[in-house]
């Protein structure tokens, strides 16, 4: 049947329910897509954070092994030539705690009282008292003879390796703030200028020679002071001490608990990683 010239063809549009249903489907798909992208981003960031935390833990572990290995290697040297003996004794006899004092409810980073990394620091990194000197971290950038202070004992001139910058205790402060502190991003070390005189010396050296030699690189010579060691610390626990009578033989071995804690992206619970390094006391096992 043909429409007359003065008649209008009427078509039906979408109803309100159909529009709402279409918008709901679109919103659901959009939310799922955004959630998938965010989840992938969080997983990528978490993988990077775990890698950085593992690198910092490995650096602390290798630094402690380095101290022991060099102490063992130089034990036959004259006392004035031994650079690592005092440092080894400081991280063992000086900073270790007996196994009987290593209480799980205090030192277990995953216990029920630890809800944030701040809680972990309050429990495990005390700020006052004798125990505050026990928890520590190693400034790995200073752990080399060339960065130490020269000293003379008798006829020998050697590098005095132990100074206040290498071992950082729980009560160590720089510019009024604790150096060992919770992580702002992930476990890491933040370094700054150790000596302003070195900036001048290196600037003059670089300007005079115009070369970037190993002795004039800024990274090698300046940024070595640890202004912050965030989210990582070491607890040394004495092992078996039965049958040991000499005062300087504190234990047959030492377990170094290297722990890290940080607030991972997209997670309400703190992320933690722990490594245990067992090193035997050379003076006991020989």
The dihedral through the CA atoms of 107, 108, 110, 111 has a sign that is: negative
pLDDT at 201: 47
pLDDT band at residue 276 under the 50/70/90 scheme: very high
Q: Give the number of other Cβ atoms within 10 Å of residue 163's Cβ.
A: 13
Q: How far apart are the first and last CA of the chain?
A: 113
Among the listed residues 231, 232, 234, 242, the one whose alpha carbon sits nearest the alpha carbon of residue 277? 234
Q: How far apart are CA 84 and CA 159, in angstroms?
A: 10
Counting the structural domains of the chain, the total is 1
Residue 138, phi then psi, degrees to nearest 5: -105, 130
- With respect to residue 8, please indicate whether it lies within any of the assigned structural domains: no
* Domain boundaries, position 261: 55-285
- With respect to residue 32, please indicate whether it lies within any of the assigned structural domains: no
pLDDT at 189 over 70: yes
- With respect to residue 49, please indicate whether it lies within any of the assigned structural domains: no
pLDDT at 53: 92
- With respect to residue 173, please indicate whether it lies within any of the assigned structural domains: yes
Q: How far apart are CA 12 and CA 5, in angstroms?
A: 21
pLDDT at 12: 62
In degrees, rounded to 5, the angle at the alpha carbon of residue 240 between the alpha carbons of residues 234 and 241 is 105
Give strand ranges (E) for 58-179. 136-138, 149-153, 156-160, 167-169, 173-174, 177-178
Q: How far apart are CA 167 and CA 179, in angstroms?
A: 11
Enumerate the β-bridge partners of residue 136: 169, 234
- With respect to residue 125, please indicate whether it lies within any of the assigned structural domains: yes
Of residues 178 and 286, which shows the higher confidence score?
Answer: 178
Of residues 220 and 60, which shows the higher confidence score?
Answer: 60
- Percent of the residues in the chain that have a pLDDT greater than 70, as a whole number: 67
In degrees, rounded to 5, the angle at the alpha carbon of residue 261 between the alpha carbons of residues 276 and 134 is 60
pLDDT at 65: 94
- With respect to residue 148, please indicate whether it lies within any of the assigned structural domains: yes
pLDDT at 205: 47
- With respect to residue 43, please indicate whether it lies within any of the assigned structural domains: no
pLDDT (tens digit per residue) in 17-56: 877 888 888 888 888 888 777 777 777 788 888 999 999 9
- With respect to residue 268, please indicate whether it lies within any of the assigned structural domains: yes
pLDDT at 258: 94
For the chain, helix, strand, coil in percent to 5 are 40, 20, 35
């Amino acid at each position: 049947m043909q429409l007359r010239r003065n008649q209008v063809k009427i078509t039906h549009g979408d109803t309100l329910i159909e529009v709402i249903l279409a918008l709901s489907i679109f919103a659901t798909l959009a939310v799922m897509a955004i959630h998938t992208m965010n989840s992938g981003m969080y997983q990528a960031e978490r993988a990077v954070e775990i890698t950085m935390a593992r690198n910092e833990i490995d650096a602390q572990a290798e630094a402690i092994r380095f101290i022991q290995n060099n102490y063992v290697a130089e034990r036959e040297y004259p006392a004035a030539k031994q650079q690592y003996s005092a440092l080894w004794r400081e991280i063992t006899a000086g900073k270790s705690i007996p196994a009987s004092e290593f209480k799980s409810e205090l030192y277990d980073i995953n216990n029920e009282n630890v809800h944030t990394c701040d809680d972990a620091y309050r429990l495990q990194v005390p700020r006052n008292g004798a125990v505050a000197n026990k928890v520590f971290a190693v400034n790995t950038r200073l752990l080399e003879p060339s960065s130490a202070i020269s000293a003379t004992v008798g006829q020998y001139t050697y590098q005095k390796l132990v100074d206040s910058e290498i071992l950082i205790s729980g009560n160590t402060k720089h510019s009024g703030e604790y150096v060992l502190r919770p992580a702002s991003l992930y476990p890491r070390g933040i370094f700054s200028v150790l000596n302003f005189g070195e900036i001048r010396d290196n600037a003059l050296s670089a300007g005079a020679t115009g070369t970037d030699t190993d002795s004039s690189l800024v990274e090698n010579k300046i940024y070595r002071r640890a202004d912050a060691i965030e989210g990582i610390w070491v607890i040394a626990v004495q092992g078996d001490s039965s049958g040991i009578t000499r005062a300087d033989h504190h234990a047959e071995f030492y377990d170094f608990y290297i722990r890290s804690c940080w607030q991972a992206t997209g997670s309400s619970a703190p992320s933690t990683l722990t490594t245990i390094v067992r090193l035997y006391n050379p003076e006991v096992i020989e």
